[in-house]
Structure 1
Amino acid sequence: MFYRLSRGDDASWAPTYFLAALGAGGLAVSFFMWLMFWLPHPGAPVPLFGDALSALVGEGLLIKLAVVGAWVGIAMFSVLHIHLLVWNLRQYARFRSTADYRELRNSNSETQLLAGPLTVAMSINVGFVVGLTFVPGLWSVVEWLFPLALLAFVLVGYWALALLRDFWGRVLVGGGFDCVRNNNLGQLMPAFASAMIAVGLAAPAAMSQNTVTVAFSLVLSSFFMVLAFIIGGIQIVLGFRAMLEQGADPSTAPSLWIVVPILTTLSITLLRQTHGLHGHFESGAGGVEAMTMLIIFLCAQLVFGLLGWVVLSRYGYFSRFVTGPEKSAGAYALVCPGVALTVMLHFFINVGLVGFGVLDRFSTGYWALTIIALGLQGVTIWLVLRLNRLHFGDFERDRTEEPL
């Protein structure tokens, strides 16, 4: 699982390798869903270290196993996330001085650079999850941490906007965007990055007791959420137009599933904003609107999931780039939809069905649906392990096979 990665120049590195770190971070967050929805946490809107300890003492065997499993999963995939993030940042720093980088900055693929701020935004979310899970007494100082978190996400947002400024400034003023080669949804990477920044900025709106902090959270998260919707709408139309004319690009076909994580992050952003508006501004927001939004977004994810499955299957993508020997950094785009749909199912079941009285928590129907989320999480974990072995195992083998 943890491989000794290349420390020197790697000609095969591409910005999409940031998605390897992103997927590991997403899996850490997916294990936090176990604590979020299965543990009682009356003192805070999110489960804390003390709530997990109380569950280990007072809850049944199943919940105790869930706590231990969540702790192991969060710890393991958080470490893997940081391990891969540091490697990618080092490779990115070297990549910036190469001719390939200069060529990238003048092509459609320039938007791949948004994978950097996307992954760093996930790192902030992972850090918050790790703090809630393993740091005793964190909630007593959380109101001091929220402004720092907002600042961190704003800085990441500035990085993303600077990259978008260069790209949109270049193509809208000088032209040069190759619509023929835009036969994929890879141009949604900026929308994904914007949505990830938005969901992080929206967290204080759902959890802070300070009205000023909540107001800043609402405004800042709304900006990046709207940016994600605008970019997403434009690029989906352009991407499908090119695919209908040229056919989807086999090497970037997994980008058809990028809509799935975008919708998950946007749905959680809207839920967090709704909670903040209801709690601080007596807006009356929430109710059936939240349930309707979860249903619509989940159905949209399933539509894009089925569409992507048809294309990927016809190209034989899985047998080539997942179970086969061929390598493509774009294969890591398959991890994000698995994580996103897992998290979305947990929210749909617990916030939607249980929250509105359709299901009783821990009933037979509840576990029947939850098993689907757990099964998808298990498949995603296998995918991460398989791709890491395929892409990074060579570094380890090369090191062990060096002559003495």
Structure 2
Amino acid sequence: MPRIPTRPADTWSPLYFLASVGAGGLAVTFFMYLMFWIPHPGRSVPVSEDIAAALGAGSPLRTVAITLAAAGIAIFGAMNLYLLAWNLRRVGPFVASERGQSLGASNAQTQMMALPLALAMSVNVAFILGLVFVPGLWSVVEFLFPVALAAFLAIGALALRQLGGFLGRVIGSGGFDCKANNSFAQLLPAFSLAMVGVGLSAPGAMSGTTLTAGIAIIASTFFLVAAVVIAAVGMVLGIRSMLENGVAVEQAPTLMIVIPLMTVLGILLIRQDHGLHVHFESHGSAGDMLTMLTQFLSLELLFALFGVTVLRATGYIRRFISGSETSVGSYALICPGVALSVMMQFWINKGLVAAGLVARFGLAYWALTGIALAAQVAMIVLMLVLNRRHFGRAQLVASPAE
């Protein structure tokens, strides 16, 4: 019998888009170094000129941090774009295949919404790469914001079309299997809509043009509301099924999808708050921001504890991370850790420091930041482990001759 190479990634699934999303999220965690550790006066985000000025200041620790940040953004940004392209090449053949047709007639049809999720993440990553590595980008950024708005609206239209197709099928003719909905897999559409919304909110915080900022705030609010509604419905349906049938073991990582959803929506609200303050005389206090971020972080920690408890109870890590079995759903574990790291950074800097509870760069500051960095490092290790297991050297297996 001839022997052909196989590996888990050779049997493609829409959930492999989560590998691209995870890499993009890791690039964002490195951007947090620049966002909160180097000065960027007159701008809501750091750009290459700010980075060059900080390097010229001669502080050894800051130089190390900037070097690590630039390397991390470059490596994981490139990985994000590569994995996006790798996945896009497989969508067409999959949809036309028997497996694709079967998926489109089941609860798992919403897995295809990982596509707009990954597209929206990659647009955000491309913008970060431009800010960090393209000198002079900020001088033309007002011309780029309408392009970015158009791109995110196009991705949002794709997401809504996919969601509409799913809802039209299951509500119009039935067929949704409530018993098999024993996870939070149906929150993926909410995550996709939220990612579109946070991208749309960026010009609201960064643009100096009132019209551009206003359009961004209005458009992002629509996707914020849509994400919250879909998430609420998905959670109720999922919890009911899990209480009756137990959790679907391979989908157990979805129980922590609320964590990245909250981080994305939290950043969306922070951006809107800044835009409303600059352009529309809406003035929130440091206490208001601290309260909001603490609420979001508290919710994330609760779902982290919930998810870890279920993962331990089902032996998921022992089976699919360190054991001999593989599951593409394992990539859903990266986003929660990344999101928790990013939310910690915002809570520390935009919450505690801004409210005067913690001194910037003091002992307490670095102790708390160390938690965010530990989560980041853990997710980098997990990403490398999963990539090796799913994309690594193929294993030779026997195949019957035609």
Q: Hey, what does 2:103 align to over in structure 1?
A: 104
Alignment of 1:299-314 (within 5 A): 299-314=298-313
Please name the residue that 1:65 is paired with: 64
What corresponds to 1:341 in structure 2? 340
Question: Which fold has the larger relative contact order, with Cα–Cα distance below 8 Å and residues 6 or more apart in sequence?
Answer: 2
Shift of 1:394: 3.1
1:115-169 superposed Cα distances (whole Å, 9 cap, x missing partner): 0000010000000000000000100000000010000000000110110110011
Q: Which residue of 2 aligns with 1:296?
A: 295
Look up the match of 1:384. Answer: 383
**1:83-126 deviation line (CA, Å, top 9, x unaligned):** 11111111112101101111111110001000000001000000
In the alignment, residue 291 of structure 1 is paired with which amino acid?
L
Aligned residues: 392
Structure 2 counterpart of 1:157: 156
The answer to whether the 8 A contact 1:15-1:116 is kept is yes
Q: Provide the residue aligned with 1:350 in structure 2.
A: 349
RMSD, matched Cα: 1.5
1:367 counterpart = 2:366: yes
Find the aligned partners of 2:9 and 2:296 in 1 and give their Cα distance. 39
Distance of 1:37 and 1:224 partners within structure 2 = 27
> Equivalent residue for 1:269?
268
SS class of match (1:202)? helix
Can you list the C-alpha shifts for 1:364-400, whole angstroms capped at 9, x where unaligned? 00000001111110000000000000001034x66xx
After superposition, give the CA deviation of every residue in 1:206-265 in whole Å (9 maximum; x if it has no partner): 110100001100111001000000000111011001000101111100000100000000
Relative to structure 1, is the Cα distance of residues 99 and 292 closer, same or farther in structure 2, using a 3 angstrom cutoff?
same
Quote the Cα distance in structure 1 between the aligned partners of 2:58 and 2:97.
56
Q: Secondary structure at the match of 1:394?
A: coil
Instruction: Check conservation: 1:278, 1:286, Cα contact below 8 A.
Output: no
Q: Percent of pairs identical after alignment?
A: 51
Higher deviation after alignment, 301-310 or 85-94? 85-94
- The 8 Å contact of residues 132 and 138 in structure 1, kept in 2 or not, is answered as yes
Contact 1:9/1:94, CA 8 A, preserved across alignment: no
Q: Which residue number in structure 1 is paired with residue 181 of structure 2?
A: 182
Matched, 1:126 2:125: yes
**Contact 1:264–1:340 (CA<8 Å) still a contact in 2?**
yes
Give the structure-1-normalised TM-score. Answer: 0.95
Deviation string 1:308-349 (CA, Å, 9 cap, x unpaired) is 101001111111111122110000000000110010000000
What are the equivalent positions in structure 2 for 1:3-402 lying under 5 Å apart? 12-395=11-394
Counterpart amino acid of 1:187? Q
Residue 393 of structure 2 aligns to a residue in which SS? helix
Contact 1:115 1:193 in 2 (8 A): yes
Unaligned 5+ runs, structure 2: 397-402
Shift of 1:53: 1.0
- Which has the higher mean CA deviation after the structures are superposed, 77-86 or 263-272? 77-86
Give the residue type in structure 2 aligned to 1:25.
Answer: G
Q: Quick one: which amino acid aligns to residue 288 of structure 1?
A: G
Q: TM (normalized to structure 2)? A: 0.95
When residues 394 and 50 of structure 1 are mapped into structure 2, their CA distance, relative to the original with a 3 A threshold, is: same
Contact preservation (8 Å) 1:208, 1:214: yes
